Amino acid sequence: MSKTETQNKASLFELGRVVVTAGVQGLLDKHELVNALHVNTLLARHQSGDWGDVCSEDAHWNDKAVEDGDRVLSSYKLYGEKVWVITEADRSVTTILFPSEY
């Protein structure tokens, strides 16, 4: 994937460079007609503070991480599979991965 440095009004933080693991890329390749739309939707949710399927404690830590500049982790379903979206504390990179790839 290409670099994503764009911030819109709903963005809480920079994504940095967006990367997708080989496992998630394999899932996206199976759904090639709509994968960019789904990835962009997940990134927009993540960047706007919609943390997806995380517990309330993790959501709280994400909110605090946005303020303090720490790592942010969201969890979503992508084609029925759980994926994580992680933005590093220095905001240099955001990775989309399966939890098993962590």
What pLDDT sits at residue 34?
A: 61
In this prediction the pTM is 0.87
* Residue at 94 is within a domain: yes
Q: Which domain holds residue 44?
A: 17-101
User: Per-residue pLDDT for 48 more than 70?
Assistant: yes
* Residue at 64 is within a domain: yes
- Half-sphere exposure (Cβ direction) of 83: Cα atoms closer than 13 Å: 25
* Residue at 31 is within a domain: yes
CB atoms within 10 A of CB 74: 25
From CA 1, how far away is CA 20, in angstroms rounded?
7
* Residue at 12 is within a domain: no
The count of domains in the chain is 1
* Residue at 2 is within a domain: no
What pLDDT sits at residue 33?
A: 59
* Residue at 6 is within a domain: no
What's the whole-number average pLDDT of the chain? 89
Q: What is the DSSP letter of 100?
A: G
Nearest alpha carbon to residue 6 among 51, 49, 43: 43
